[in-house]
Chains A and B, each alone.
Chain A
Amino acid sequence: MSEEQKAEKFLEIFNKGKEFTEELLRENQRLRYRVAAMETEASSGPSEEVQRLLAQISHLTDENRRIQQRFREVEEENKDFAHRYIEIEEQNNNLANLYVASYQLHSTLDFREVIQIVQEIIINLVGAEAFAILLLDEKTNELKAIAYEGEDVMPGVESISTRLGEGVLGMVAKTGESYYVNQDVEGSAISIEKPLAAVPLKIKEHVIGLIVIYKLLQQKDAFSAVDYELFSLLAAHAATAIFSSKLYSQSERKLNTIQSFLDLLTTTT
């Protein structure tokens, strides 16, 4: 390659470099304008569209917060309803027990049947395994067992006999106040003289006998709220049912005697 050719080649390269440099300068200029424009835009605050979107986000955030709050409230209400439903179910169950007990107690005037019904209520509704029903003999002031259950787990339950005012049973009959052992405090110190519960059978303030509970069924740990309701129902309704049936059987016996006497008189005359 001659000197002249070399110079032309160099000039060509130089011109290309010049064009490239000029191109770079133009691009640089264009970018500087763009940066300057963006800086101006940023310093003059968000555009109308951005402001609208920001407002919408804020509104939706508030709405979301309100919905979450309402959801929490509804959840609480739901829990409350569920709780009340369980309570009403329990009440319903208790009322059914009381209704059935009361209905059955007054369904007959037969003394043995009434006693049988009282026993059924104590076994099936209260859930007692060992218990006794005592009646007060007003002539001797003595309380005696007329029905019982569970002599295998509470020996002696079949032959309870105590005087009015003596011991726990005698005092319950005298005062007319129910007696319940606090099992948490007093443990398992249950005996014939010291039962789990002793409930007086009362007609107004007049005590005619006692229901004495010694042991609950093994699947039952303690008395429940409805048991105390059943005891107060039994205290009054069982007492009247027992008393009425006793009077009825006595009057029937007297009626039979009078009828026989009248028949005798009629046949002799």
Chain B
Amino acid sequence: MENANFLVVEDSPTMRQLISFSLKRFKNAKIIEAVDGVDALKKLSGPDTIDLILTDINMPVMDGLKLVSLVRQNAQLKNIPIIIITTEGAEEDRERGLALGANAYISKPIQSSHLIKTISELLSV
């Protein structure tokens, strides 16, 4: 997958940097960062067409689950693949995230190879 635009939604700068680091494996990837759900919605209405969203769940202002739900209700954004990356590893959390419309659910700590594989599958690279 070349020239993909990724939106990384994370309140932790450490995780944002780590995820962005992994995404650089995709040639000419553009990484747009947001610190919470509200910031993510602003970035989604910006000039860049987002190919995939990676979001945390626990964030201030607006959490990741609310963001997933709002994106899926929006006619223009509803088809963007979403990956949830979170510390919440319980099966019910996973089910809830997927039921809201996320395409994949990855528990922290993340393995870069697993993240790349999941993204590649979602973008059918």
Q: Do A and B bind each other?
A: yes
Chain A interface residues toward B at CB < 8 A:
89-90, 92-93, 96-97, 99-101, 103-104, 107, 117, 120-121, 123-127, 129, 217-220
B112 touches A218 (CB 8 A): no
Complex Cα distance A124/B109, Å?
Answer: 5
Complex Cα distance A124/B21, Å?
Answer: 15
Task: Give B46 Cβ to nearest chain A Cβ, in Å.
Answer: 26
* B113: chain A residues within 8 A (beta carbon): 89-90, 93
Q: Which 4 A-B pairs have the closest CB atoms?
A: A219-B89, A93-B112, A120-B14, A127-B109
The total of Cβ contacts below 8 Å across the A-B interface reads 58
B112 touches A121 (CB 8 A): no
Complex Cα distance A113/B28, Å?
Answer: 32
* A101: chain B residues within 8 A (beta carbon): 14
A120 touches B15 (CB 8 A): yes
19 pairs, CB–CB < 8 Å, chain A vs chain B: A89-B112, A92-B112, A93-B111, A97-B18, A100-B21, A101-B14, A103-B17, A117-B13, A120-B12, A120-B13, A124-B15, A124-B18, A125-B18, A125-B109, A127-B108, A129-B87, A217-B87, A218-B90, A219-B107
* A107: chain B residues within 8 A (beta carbon): 13
Q: Does B22 contact A (CB under 8 A)?
A: yes
**Of A89, A93, A99, A103, which is in contact with the most chain B CB atoms at under 10 Å from its CB?**
A93
Task: Give A149 Cβ to nearest chain B Cβ, in Å.
Answer: 10
A124 touches B112 (CB 8 A): no
What is the chain A residue whose CB lies nearest that of B24? A96
A100 touches B14 (CB 8 A): yes
Complex Cα distance A60/B35, Å?
Answer: 68
Complex Cα distance A217/B113, Å?
Answer: 20
Within 8 A of A (CB), among B1-54: 12-15, 17-18, 21-22
Question: 10 new A-B pairs (CB below 8 Å) besides A96-B22, A117-B13, A117-B14?
Answer: A89-B112, A90-B113, A93-B113, A107-B13, A120-B14, A123-B87, A124-B87, A125-B18, A127-B108, A220-B89
Q: A89-B113, A99-B21, A125-B18 are in contact. Are A104 and B108 (CB under 8 A)?
A: no
Complex Cα distance A163/B109, Å?
Answer: 33
Complex Cα distance A219/B85, Å?
Answer: 13
* B21: chain A residues within 8 A (beta carbon): 96, 99-100
Within 8 A of A (CB), among B40-87: 87
Task: Give B89 Cβ to nearest chain A Cβ, in Å.
Answer: 3
